[in-house]
């Protein structure tokens, strides 16, 4: 009775040994070795580029959103205006203190601050620029994270009631420091028989803040609320209530409660209304970039196919011998699959290491790029923030690894099947 032929256990030590042996091509088979190195380097660079791109995109988005949420209202409560007995329309809240207290009592609200806002021209010496003035109380400005606790703040915010707080961009343009005086010119001043004359006042700069947002730092001035009311002829009124909530991402869930607390005629403007279109554009760009980088990874993994086809061609005689010795088609397939998988796994690991190092040392890398380019390659006036950030996320790294390994394993199957289906008789006929 004929004994059944024994089969090799899947991915046994023998298959691993043969696969590793084939990867270490001899000098006469240098073409295979070169193709293996090309595949390895290609996958490494592709995974590195994918992780670096996703880290930069995630960092940019997180920094931008943090800047928006740290220096701006999550929700602005305002009114459309009320007409008095004489038909004059007045906008804003007259009972703003009570309304702010009602809003603060709303569940999920962490801050509610009355504001007076106005446009002015700023002059100092021979310089002039435009700015937006926010009238706010000293207690409320101290609760703005990016303003009161900025990394590069100058001056003493406790002296806010005796002066103004100025963005670092304005201070840089005007060439002023803490203790200097700024002249503010507002078009709505005193009404005379000849018309409305501009209102001109000088204020001491007691605090210079840096929020990290270029547009804010170059256009915003904070003034004590009572002085802003007098300066803009808004005595007894607040233009809006600046509200912050504990979960800005779910800001729409607070709409009904805030409208009820704001009273009749109240309207809402959320941070998503002002920046939502830009954030949606970033999301679309992120998705497009991921697709493009996926194609790059696919092109890199296709080099594995070229290398394995050359390897199968060079090892035809070996495949015939192994088959006549009893090795099954499955074993041959797994041997050449392991050859391609080795390249994919090693290239992926190397790419992940390089991508993580890039994200960790992004500041030093950008400093080196600036050094060799002879200038500042990151223009905050265009991008809105002062530096190129990077934020590594576990999900991004995992998706890059899964994508690279998945494509590497898939493309490896086709040349491995070709090797497994090779007829041993044909492979040895001319040997």
Query: Model confidence at 6, in pLDDT bands (50, 70, 90)?
Result: very low
Using only the alpha carbons of the chain, give its radius of gyration: 33
Query: 22-26, 210-214, 217-221: which range is least confident on average?
Result: 22-26
Q: Which helix (H) or strand (E) holds 223?
A: strand 220-224
pLDDT score recorded for residue 24: 66
Higher pLDDT, 64 or 223: 223
- Region 367-387: what's the mean pLDDT? 69
CB 203 within 8 A of CB 223: yes
- Residue 170 has a pLDDT of 92
- pLDDT of 25 > 50? The answer is yes
- 125-164 pLDDT, tens digit per residue, is 888 899 999 999 999 999 888 888 877 889 999 999 999 9
For tokens 């050094």, name the residue: 371
Q: What is the pLDDT of residue 323?
A: 66
**pLDDT-wise least confident of 10-19, 93-102, 111-120, 400-409:** 10-19
Q: Can you give the pTM of this predicted structure?
A: 0.74
306 SS3 class: helix
Would you say residue 19 has pLDDT above 50?
A: yes
Percent over 90 (pLDDT), the chain? 30
Q: How confident is the model at residue 48 (pLDDT cuts 50, 70, 90)?
A: very high
Using a pLDDT cut of 70, give the percent of the chain over it: 81
pLDDT surpassing 80 at residue 321: no
pLDDT of residue 209: 93
What angle in degrees, to the nearest 10, is found between the helix axes of 329-360 and 394-420? 160
Rounded CA gap, 204 and 198, in Å?
A: 20
* 396 vs 282, residue with greater confidence: 396
- Which helix (DSSP H) or strand (DSSP E) does residue 240 occupy? strand 240-245
| Mean pLDDT score across all residues of the chain | 82
Give the pLDDT mean for 377-381: 63
Residues in the chain: 431
Report the distance separating Cα 17 and Cα 409, nearest Å. 19
Please give the angle made by the CA atoms of 414, 416 and 420, to the nearest 5 degrees: 120
CB atoms within 10 A of CB 317: 13
Q: SS3 sequence, 233-257? A: CCCCCECEEEEEECCHHHHHHHHHH
Least confident of 267-271, 302-306, 353-357: 302-306
Beta bridge partners of 118: 133
SS3 199: strand
| Digit-coded pLDDT (tens) for 167-187 | 999 999 898 999 999 999 988
Cβ of 307: how many Cβ atoms within 10 Å?
26
Confidence of residue 7 (pLDDT cuts 50, 70, 90): low
Q: DSSP string covering 181-197, please?
A: EEEEEESS--EETTEEP
pLDDT of residue 220: 94
Q: How many CB atoms lie within 10 A of CB 379?
A: 10
Lowest mean pLDDT: which of 166-170, 351-355, 390-394, 416-420? 416-420
Any residues with CB less than 8 A from the CB of 171 and at least 6 apart, and which?
Answer: 177, 205, 208
Instruction: Evaluate if residue 203 carries a pLDDT over 90.
Output: yes
- Residue 53: count of CB within 10 angstroms of its CB: 21
Task: Give pLDDT, residue 377.
Answer: 62
Mean local confidence (pLDDT), 270-293: 85
- What is the spatial distance between Cα 25 and Cα 315, in angstroms, rounded to a whole number? 11
**pLDDT value of position 415:** 81
The separation between the first and the last C-alpha atoms of the chain, rounded to the nearest angstrom, is 33
- Here the tokens at position 136 are 């706010």
């Amino acid at each position: 009775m004929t004994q059944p032929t024994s089969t090799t256990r899947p991915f046994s030590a023998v298959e691993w040994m043969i696969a590793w042996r084939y990867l270490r091509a001899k000098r006469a088979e240098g073409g295979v070795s070169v193709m293996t190195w090309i595949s390895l380097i290609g996958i490494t660079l592709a995974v590195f580029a994918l992780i670096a791109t996703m880290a930069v995109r995630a960092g940019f988005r997180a920094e931008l959103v943090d800047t928006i949420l740290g220096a701006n209202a999550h929700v602005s409560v305002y009114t459309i205006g009320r007409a008095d007995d004489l038909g004059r329309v007045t906008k804003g809240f007259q009972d703003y203190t009570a309304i702010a207290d009602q809003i603060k009592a709303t569940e999920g609200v962490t801050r509610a601050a009355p504001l007076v806002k106005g446009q002015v021209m700023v002059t100092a010496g021979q310089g002039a620029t435009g700015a937006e003035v926010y009238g706010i109380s000293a207690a409320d400005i101290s609760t703005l994270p990016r303003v009161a606790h900025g990394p590069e703040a100058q001056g003493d915010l406790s002296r806010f009631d005796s002066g103004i707080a100025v963005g670092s961009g304005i201070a840089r343009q005007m060439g002023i420091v803490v203790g200097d005086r700024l002249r503010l010119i507002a078009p709505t001043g005193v009404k005379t028989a000849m018309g409305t004359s501009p209102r001109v006042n000088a204020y001491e700069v007691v605090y210079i803040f840096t929020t990290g947002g270029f547009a804010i730092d170059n256009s915003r001035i904070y003034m004590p609320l009572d002085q802003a009311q007098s300066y803009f002829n808004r005595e007894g009124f607040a233009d809006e209530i600046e509200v912050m909530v504990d979960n800005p991402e779910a800001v729409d869930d607070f709409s009904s409660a805030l409208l009820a607390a704001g009273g009749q005629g109240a309207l809402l403007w959320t941070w998503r209304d002002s920046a939502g279109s830009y954030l949606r554009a970033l999301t679309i760009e992120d998705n497009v970039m991921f697709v493009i980088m996926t194609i790059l990874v696919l092109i890199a993994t296709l080099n594995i196919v070229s290398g394995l086809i050359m390897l199968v061609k060079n090892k035809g005689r070996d495949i015939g011998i192994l088959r006549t010795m009893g090795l099954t088609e499955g074993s041959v397939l797994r041997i050449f699959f392991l050859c391609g998988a080795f390249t994919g796994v090693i290239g992926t690991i190397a790419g992940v290491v390089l991508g993580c190092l890039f994200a960790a040392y992004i500041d030093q890398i950008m400093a080196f790029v600036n050094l060799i380019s002879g200038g500042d390659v990151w223009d905050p006036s265009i991008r809105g923030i002062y530096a190129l950030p990077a934020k590594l996320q576990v999900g991004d790294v995992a998706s890059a690894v899964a994508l690279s390994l998945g494509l590497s394993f898939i493309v490896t199957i086709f040349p491995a099947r070709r090797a497994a289906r090779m007829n041993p008789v044909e492979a040895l006929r001319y040997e």
